[in-house]
Amino acid sequence: MSDVSVAKQIKHEVDKRRTFAIISHPDAGKTTITEKVLLHGQQIQKAGTVKGKKSGQHAKSDWMEMEQERGISVTTSVMQFPYHSSLVNLLDTPGHEDFSEDTYRTLTAVDSCLMVIDGAKGVEDRTIKLMEVTRLRDTPIITFMNKLDRDIRDPLELLDEVEDVLKIMCAPITWPIGSGKNFKGVYHLLRDETILYKTGQGHTIQNIDVIKGIDNPELDERLGVWAEELREQIELVNGASNAFDKELFLAGELTPVFFGTALGNFGVDHMLDGLVEWAPKPQPRETDEGEAVASDNSDFSGFVFKIQANMDPRHRDRVAFLRIVSGKYEKGMKMKQVRTGKDVRISDALTFLAGDRAHVEEAYPGDIIGLHNHGTIQIGDTFTSGSDFKFSGIPNFAPELFRRIRLKDPLKQKQLLKGLVQLSEEGAVQVFRPLISNDLIVGAVGVLQFDVVVHRLKTEYKVDAMYENINVATARWVSGDERKVDEFRRKAEANLALDGGDNLTYIAPTMVNLSLAEERYPDITFSHTREH
Ligand code: GDP
């Protein structure tokens, strides 16, 4: 193909793609909505096979022994499906006990997020935390108010809560008619049509029942008293809430809001319609050379945001998840791993079709490919078709949980350190070595990370280790003027450590200690993320 037609093809593929992830509090309905989204993407005939965590079934992506014992998914799998004329990539984010730093990092590798909120509960803590992460890149957010088949809170109050707590404006796109036993459907404010809800359609794509126009007398026939109530509500909503504004949405300042029930498979398609219409196509990405790389640039580039070990128990390899930023991946192509300067030939990258691993022939910006490796790839690594820039924006996040790690056999200290440093380079956990003691502190965002690390230390490094509790509230990476940092280092030595990459880190016993340190040393930056 000529350069011009390759460029055209890439542009065409880029325009089609939407890469997003779901943020939600546990039990808000992320798994259920994922199933329905895939149903609409025609990927599974009958929704309900993504993850059987509660029924004890194991979905295809469950791979590690430990996962199987627990019936949870440690993996962040990637699902690609067509919807209308778009091609959607959904990056699954570990949520329950498997919540981890990977959840955060995945959010920095997508172009938009879907926020799922339980309509009876409103905004919950995990959602607040995840929203903070999306703010690092001002990622556009689409909102789905779920569980309308139950009695939910007053919809206007829910929107107020999102605006107050999450500091994002809400623009309702659909508006619910009743809830719980009285859930009748939604009115689509932009299309001026009412879509009626039918129960018992959770596992199929329904024949939709639509009434055009809010003043249509058919609405009164079908909805009775609810029709008048809807008209009054819509008048109120039009006056009291924000209109949808695409610019504000793309800036991460306003979220379009959809109402529905994932379980009843109602409203999910309205949300998907909004996603493919408004959510951004694969976005440019900043580099250390200052200039962003655009997705329609023909030269291949991408970055690694997640590494997963032992996906296939028969092969003890690791798979690095690479998000393509520009150009085109072709089977057998050569790429440069910028950190090592080495060229690697990639003949067997993987794509992810709802948990199945399949080999890809070609892939485009916005797509995720899996690269096999034996510990040579690190989180944040950039791959290019030859250039030497590195992408920025795939950070480490300050851990929220800390433990001291101790050996059962003290002679294996060296292996332990080696294992921990390698595992920290893969993003499995973070390791901190205090300046004035021989302790090893590990830090994580989710508890399961601790178990994974002990398991992997044992199986991959033959090291038996255990944890002890330790009094640490949070960690911050320390930087600033060299003299000031030296002064701080002398004064606060007891609470300073080096992380896996030898970066100076303040290990705060309490949040109050952190505030005091920040007050006392205004010239020092205490950062809660660190770029690779
Ligand atoms: P996740 O933890 O966010 O992945 O949530 P799940 O999708 O596993 O859902 C948690 C529970 O809520 C499950 O029992 C679901 O069946 C239920 N659920 C999800 N969506 C709905 C809904 O729209 N209506 C009702 N009534 N239950 C729902």
Task: Identify whether residues 434 and 372 lie together within a single domain.
Answer: no
Task: Give the per-residue pLDDT at 50.
Answer: 47
107: which residues sit within 8 A by CB, 6+ positions away? 21, 23, 93, 113, 130, 133, 134, 139
Task: Identify whether residues 43 and 148 lie together within a single domain.
Answer: yes
Q: Using 50, 70 and 90 to split pLDDT, how confident is the model at 96?
A: confident
Task: Identify whether residues 188 and 141 lie together within a single domain.
Answer: yes
| 240 is a domain residue | yes
Task: Give the per-residue pLDDT at 345.
Answer: 87
Report the alpha-carbon angle 452-456-392, nearest 5.
70
Q: Is a pLDDT exceeding 80 seen at residue 459?
A: yes
Tell me: is residue 24 an annotated ligand-binding position: yes
Residues 219-256: pLDDT tens digits? 999 999 999 999 999 999 999 899 999 999 999 999 99
Residue 263 Cα to ligand 1 middle (Å)? 6
Tell me: is residue 497 an annotated ligand-binding position: no
Residue 206 Cα to ligand 1 middle (Å)? 19
Side-chain-side CA neighbours of 83 within 13 Å: the count stands at: 25
Task: Give the per-residue pLDDT at 137.
Answer: 94
Task: Identify whether residues 219 and 359 lie together within a single domain.
Answer: no
Tell me: is residue 184 an annotated ligand-binding position: no
Q: Is a pLDDT exceeding 60 seen at residue 526?
A: yes
Last residue of a domain, one of 253, 278, 303: 278
* 244 close to 250: Cβ distance less than 8 angstroms: no
Q: Is a pLDDT exceeding 50 seen at residue 52?
A: no
29 lines ligand 1 (CB under 6 A): yes
Residues 99-149: pLDDT tens digits? 889 999 999 999 999 999 999 999 999 999 999 999 999 999 999 999 999
Task: Give the per-residue pLDDT at 313.
Answer: 53
* 70 close to 97: Cβ distance less than 8 angstroms: yes
* 448 close to 74: Cβ distance less than 8 angstroms: yes
Task: Give the per-residue pLDDT at 353.
Answer: 55
Residues 306-365: pLDDT tens digits? 988 764 455 566 789 999 999 999 988 999 999 999 999 887 787 765 445 566 788 999
Task: Give the per-residue pLDDT at 79.
Answer: 85
Task: Give the per-residue pLDDT at 315.
Answer: 56
Residue from 97, 179, 263, 266 to probe ligand 1 pocket by mutation (most atoms less than 8 Å from CB):
263
Distance CA 109, CA 101 (A): 13
Task: Identify whether residues 174 and 26 lie together within a single domain.
Answer: yes
Task: Identify whether residues 244 and 291 lie together within a single domain.
Answer: no
| 296 is a domain residue | yes
Task: Identify whether residues 371 and 458 lie together within a single domain.
Answer: no
* Average pLDDT of span 203-223: 90
Task: Identify whether residues 295 and 272 lie together within a single domain.
Answer: no
* 293 close to 94: Cβ distance less than 8 angstroms: no
DSSP letter for 285, please: B
Distance CA 223, CA 368 (A): 46
Residue from 32, 38, 186 to probe ligand 1 pocket by mutation (most atoms less than 8 Å from CB):
32
Task: Give the per-residue pLDDT at 479.
Answer: 96
Q: Is a pLDDT exceeding 50 seen at residue 51?
A: no
Distance CA 322, CA 301 (A): 10
Six token digits for residue 34:
């994922």
Q: What is the domain count for the chain?
A: 3
Distance CA 106, CA 129 (A): 14
Its pTM stands at 0.91
User: Which amino acid is present at 14?
Assistant: V
| 74 is a domain residue | no
Range of the domain at 466: 398-531
Task: Give the per-residue pLDDT at 316.
Answer: 63
Helix (H, G, I), strand (E, B), or coil: what is residue 117? strand
CATH of the domain at 335: 3.40.50.300
Task: List, in sequence order, every beta strand (DSSP E) within 173-282.
Answer: 174-177, 185-188, 193-196, 209-212, 254-259
Q: Is a pLDDT exceeding 70 seen at residue 445?
A: yes
Residue 70 Cα to ligand 1 middle (Å)? 19
Residues 354-371: pLDDT tens digits? 445 566 788 999 999 989
Tell me: is residue 451 an annotated ligand-binding position: no
Last residue of a domain, one of 226, 243, 278: 278
Side-chain-side CA neighbours of 97 within 13 Å: the count stands at: 11
| 6 is a domain residue | no
Q: Using 50, 70 and 90 to split pLDDT, how confident is the model at 202?
A: confident
Tell me: is residue 28 an annotated ligand-binding position: yes
Q: Using 50, 70 and 90 to split pLDDT, how confident is the model at 47?
A: very low
| 114 is a domain residue | yes
Residue 34 Cα to ligand 1 middle (Å)? 11
| Residue-averaged pLDDT of the chain | 89
Last residue of a domain, one of 219, 244, 278: 278
Q: Which of 123-127, 267-271, 308-312, 440-444 has the lowest mean pLDDT?
A: 308-312
Task: Identify whether residues 199 and 334 lie together within a single domain.
Answer: no
| 485 is a domain residue | yes
| 1 is a domain residue | no
Residues 379-425: pLDDT tens digits? 999 999 999 999 998 999 999 999 999 998 888 999 999 999 999 98
| 230 is a domain residue | yes
Query: What is the chain's length?
Result: 532
CATH of the domain at 447: 3.30.70.3280
Helix (H, G, I), strand (E, B), or coil: what is residue 141? strand
DSSP letter for 205, please: P
Neighbour-count burial for 476-505, b at 16+ CB within 10 Å, e otherwise: bbbeeeeeebeebeeebeebbbebbeeebb
Task: Identify whether residues 118 and 189 lie together within a single domain.
Answer: yes
Task: Give the per-residue pLDDT at 173.
Answer: 98
Residue 407 Cα to ligand 1 middle (Å)? 41
* 33 close to 262: Cβ distance less than 8 angstroms: yes
Task: Identify whether residues 110 and 135 lie together within a single domain.
Answer: yes
Task: Identify whether residues 157 and 32 lie together within a single domain.
Answer: yes
28 lines ligand 1 (CB under 6 A): yes
Edge-first strand listing for the sheet containing 209-212: 174-177, 185-188, 193-196, 209-212
Task: Give the per-residue pLDDT at 70.
Answer: 42
